[in-house]
Amino acid sequence: MADEVEIRQETDRGGAKLGFAPWADPAARPLVRFDAVTKRFGETRAVDALSLDIFPGEFFALLGPSGCGKSTLLRLLAGFEAPSEGRVLLDGTAIDAVPPHRRPVNMMFQNYALFPHLTVEGNVAFGLKQEGRPRAEIAARVAEMLALVKLAPLARRKPHELSGGQRQRVALARSLVKRPRVLLLDEPLAALDKQLRGETQFELMELQARLGTTFVIVTHDQEEAMTVAHRMGVMDRGRIVQVGTPAEVYEQPNSRYVASFVGDVNLIEGRLAAVGPSGLLIDSTVGAKLATNQRVEADVGATVWVTLRPEKLRVATAPPAANENCVSGHVAEIAYLGNVSLYKVRLDNGFMMKAQLPNLTRVVERPIGTNERVWLSWTPDAGVVLTG
Amino acid sequence: MRRGASSFNLAAVALGLAFLYLPMAILVIFSFNASRLVTVWGGWSTRWYAELFADGAMLESAGVSIRLAALSASIATMLGTLAAIALTRAGRFRGRTLFTGMVYAPLVMPEVITGLSLLLLFVALDLDRGFWTVTIAHTTLTMCFVAVVVQSRLVTFDRSLEEAAMDLGCPPGRTFLLITLPLIWPAVAAGWMLAFTLSLDDLVIASFTTGPGATTLPMRIYSQVRLGVKPEINAVCTLMIAVVTAMLVVFSLLSKQTRANSE
């Protein structure tokens, strides 16, 4: 196995310190390319003129609400659907005419789709048997794969004798044992409880880094996508609205849709009042003047939106010195989440703002209570100005 | 919250069961009658069973019936399973509703009409009537039942299992043999049982479509009863009840397993 598997030490995700960034390299050849792919089901366009490149060794997440076409995209790659228009390319070759059973791509299904009449071993060996591999090789590779997912002691069990987490591992082993060029994961962790999901996310990342296989995961859970993926594509109604590293998508969303789908956000509508050398000044609907050090493609007078992440706001019980980037209101609700507390603040004009404070100490009484007047303020680089 | 059954309910159930099974119970009991007279009890005996097994014509008819049932059930199972697959898998093709209706129509068609129309067909085609024409007729009748049984299993079948198999490199045909068939076989076997039982029971269609040398057991019994009921008939009927009951028990066990599999 070692001769075929490239071991990568790099496991950093999302952050700026990434050494692995083939998408930024103009000479890099994508492994998977969706070339203006449209998939129609009757009148609806599940995938709409979508183009996307995924690079070798990448862990790519497709993120979007249910019905946005992300699963259809995966099924187009697996071969269960054929594009109505456009092409799907693998390693530079169009694979639209290749049936699913001849594609070097394997899929882990959302419900795992384990064969109920076969044992764990039988399930994992199934793909290799179809290749007509010698019996000894099948046995060795199945044993190796079961050891990798820590299922060796359960090899002779049937799927109905396993827990949800164990079934998930069988499905993973079964789809990886054929050493696919691309592994497709359709909501692989949706059926697991929260704690197990968290652990499994890290195991998936570790496995992907060890094997170097290209992973494409479909999920509606933005936390999951941000945890596991090198890059993520946010989807809306059959289109990809933004592609980027988790940090790029979170800190620099390109639309209100992305800003509100990925993470919690305060969206403040305003009118562009002035464009200065150091940034923009915005008249907002929340009463305050907002200053940012950003630039946007918009004229003075245009409607813009400022997105502010709750954790970027400062909460104070006395008015801060600066007049800009500051609003005031009463605390309407406090959600204590353990590591952080989420404050819902009703501004004087009725607008609700969310602010998040880390609980750095083990205080029993909260320093700020409900109905207390507070001032929310932020720095000029905290907000992202959007025009759409 | 369970309440005991009222005496009215108990009486209704008892009367219903008696209406259904009393005649059969009498038939079974009288098959062990020592007396030659069918309606007079003369003590326990198995002599009519002994006489039955010495009756060459009766045994020959039993053989015809069993071969006929096995063969027509097997063909009907194959055709019925294919029809069920077409009905559940082919999506919305033109004339699907019509096709569905046509598959189900023989379930409610009077047997006399099925029998007569088949007879006319065989005459028109100038086929020699006999074992093979009855086989064809019974296949026609029973494949609809198989289709219904198998279809009810296929609608709950998880297609992603087949997709997973194909994804792992298994061509569609082999996927059917390795994945689909092993998972739906209880339904297929139940369909076969049902088809076998129906063929074994049938008198009307067989009478229309058979020819010399292929007298089925129900036909033999019917023709003998017209000359007067011999206790031997009670014995053969008891054996038929036993076979059919066994088949139905297996059928219901298989159906139960089918439901368990699809959950």
CATH of the domain at A57: 3.40.50.300
Residues A67 and A210 in one domain: yes
How many structural domains is chain B composed of? Answer: 1
A40 CB-contact burial (10 Å; exposed 0-12 / middle 13-18 / buried 19+): middle
Cα–Cα distance measured from residue B25 to residue B238, given in angstroms and rounded to the nearest whole number? 9
Specify if B49 maps to a domain.
no
Is the predicted pLDDT of residue A14 greater than 60, yes or no? no
pLDDT digits (tens, 9 = 90+) for A224-233: 999 999 999 9
How many structural domains is chain A composed of? Answer: 2
Put simply, the chain B residues between 173 and 192 with a CB less than 8 A from any chain A CB are: 174, 179, 182-183
The domain boundary, picked from A223, A256, A289, lies at: A256
CB contact under 8 A, B170 and A174: no
Residues A189 and A58 in one domain: yes
Residues A273 and A346 in one domain: yes
B260 touches A: beta carbon within 8 Å: no
Specify if A293 maps to a domain.
yes
Specify if B37 maps to a domain.
no
Please tell me the predicted confidence (pLDDT) of residue B71.
96
pLDDT digits (tens, 9 = 90+) for B190-224: 899 899 989 998 999 999 998 887 889 999 888 88
Mean pLDDT across the stretch B159-177?
93
ipTM of the complex in this document = 0.81
Residues A100 and A199 in one domain: yes
Specify if B25 maps to a domain.
no
Give me the residue from B163, B168, B170 closest to A80, CB to CB: B163
Please tell me the predicted confidence (pLDDT) of residue A95.
92
Residues A75 and A202 in one domain: yes
CB pairs under 8 A between A and B: 61
Cα–Cα distance measured from residue A331 to residue A371, given in angstroms and rounded to the nearest whole number? 5
pLDDT digits (tens, 9 = 90+) for A252-304: 999 999 998 888 899 999 888 888 777 888 888 887 788 888 877 788 888 89
Residues A251 and A271 in one domain: no
Residue B150, number of CB atoms within 10 A of its CB: 25
Per the prediction, chain B carries an average pLDDT of 87
What is the least distance, in Å, from the CA of B172 to any CA of chain A?
8
Per the prediction, chain A carries an average pLDDT of 88
The domain boundary, picked from A238, A256, A274, lies at: A256
Cα–Cα distance measured from residue B82 to residue B88, given in angstroms and rounded to the nearest whole number? 10
Mean pLDDT across the stretch B118-122?
92
Is the predicted pLDDT of residue A156 greater than 90, yes or no? yes
Please tell me the predicted confidence (pLDDT) of residue A12.
47
Specify if B31 maps to a domain.
no
Residues A234 and A305 in one domain: no
Residues A47 and A90 in one domain: yes
Q: What percent of chain B has pLDDT over 70?
A: 95
Is the predicted pLDDT of residue A66 greater than 60, yes or no? yes
Specify if B205 maps to a domain.
yes
Q: Which residue has the tokens 């076997």?
A: B189
- In chain A, the residue whose alpha carbon lies closest to the alpha carbon of B163 is A80
Residue B262 — very low, low, confident or very high, per pLDDT cuts 50/70/90? Answer: low
Query: Residue B253 has which token pair?
Result: 């066990």
Strand partners, A271: A283, A303
Residues of the domain holding A322: 264-386
Specify if A124 maps to a domain.
no
CB contact under 8 A, B164 and A100: no
Give me the residue from B160, B168, B183 closest to A127, CB to CB: B168
* Sequence-ordered list of residues with C-beta below 8 angstroms from that of A381, at least 6 positions apart, any chain: A292, A293, A294
pLDDT digits (tens, 9 = 90+) for A99-132: 999 999 999 999 999 999 999 999 999 999 999 9
Mean pLDDT across the stretch B56-75?
92
- In chain B, the residue whose alpha carbon lies closest to the alpha carbon of A125 is B168
Residues A193 and A247 in one domain: yes
CATH of the domain at A290: 2.40.50.140
Interface test with A, best of B159, B161, B167, B175 (most A CBs within 10 A): B167
pLDDT digits (tens, 9 = 90+) for A334-364: 888 888 889 999 998 889 999 998 888 776 5
Residues of the domain holding B73: 55-262
Strand partners, A107: A184
Mean pLDDT across the stretch A69-94?
93
Interface test with A, best of B157, B166, B168 (most A CBs within 10 A): B168
Give me the residue from A101, A110, A111 closest to B171, CB to CB: A101
Q: Tell me the torsion sign for CA atoms A234, A236, A238, A242.
A: negative
Query: Residue B193 has which token pair?
Result: 């049982």
Residue A365 — very low, low, confident or very high, per pLDDT cuts 50/70/90? Answer: low
What is the least distance, in Å, from the CA of A102 to any CA of chain B?
6
Please tell me the predicted confidence (pLDDT) of residue B257.
73
Residues A252 and A286 in one domain: no
B170 touches A: beta carbon within 8 Å: yes
Residues A98 and A216 in one domain: yes
3-state SS class at B70: helix
Query: Residue B192 has which token pair?
Result: 């076969």
Residues A238 and A309 in one domain: no
Whole-model pTM: value is: 0.80
Specify if A144 maps to a domain.
no
- In chain B, the residue whose alpha carbon lies closest to the alpha carbon of A80 is B163
Cα–Cα distance measured from residue A202 to residue A10, given in angstroms and rounded to the nearest whole number? 14
The domain boundary, picked from A256, A283, A300, lies at: A256
Specify if B114 maps to a domain.
yes
Is the predicted pLDDT of residue A163 greater than 80, yes or no? yes
CATH of the domain at B110: 1.10.3720.10
Give me the residue from A101, A117, A178 closest to B166, CB to CB: A101
Q: What percent of chain A has pLDDT over 90?
A: 58
CB contact under 8 A, B169 and A117: no
Cα–Cα distance measured from residue A184 to residue A125, given in angstroms and rounded to the nearest whole number? 19
Chain A residues with CB-CB distance to B183 below 8 A: 116-117
A115 touches B: beta carbon within 8 Å: yes
